[in-house]
Amino acid sequence: MSDGTKTLVVERLLPYLPARVWRALTVPHLMAEWLMKGDFAPQVGHRFQLTSDHVTVECQVRLVEEGRALSYSWDAYGLESVVTWTLTPVPQGTLLRMEQTGFRRDQGQAYGGARQGWQRFLDGMEQVLQGGMAWD
């Protein structure tokens, strides 16, 4: 890349309609089950935090295209990045793409941690999508 940063991309084919996946991405009590607790709202410019026992991530919503795309900054431990979700309807359900941009060359450990972490987060999202959570 021209700016010297790396991008992480993770894709999952999910056997659910995009509207259901969108809810898992944007409803705070559902997000808390697979990602982290936070005060997210799908409004461009909204600042929010995601928190777990070990980390606080500072975020700001950058893009909302309901049911299709969501993007927010993801800043923690010196990493200033952007996470973008894209939902594409396919005959089998939804192709979900997560792209995290902005890993500097000296942030190899953060990149490796994110590569493993997003896989775990998406595993958790799949469990939420299977219906074990209250969707209201």
The CATH number of whichever domain residue 60 belongs to comes to 3.30.530.20
Question: Rounded to 5, what percent of the chain is helix, strand, coil?
Answer: 30, 40, 30
- pLDDT tens digits for 25-81? 999 999 999 999 999 999 999 999 999 998 999 999 999 999 999 999 999 989 999
Q: Is residue 28 part of a domain?
A: yes
Is 134 a domain residue?
A: no
What pLDDT was estimated at residue 132?
A: 54
pTM of this structure: 0.92
* Owning domain of residue 113: 6-129
For the chain, what is the domain count? Answer: 1
Q: What is the pLDDT of residue 123?
A: 96
Neighbours of 119 (CB within 10 A): 12
Q: How many CB atoms lie within 10 A of CB 47?
A: 12
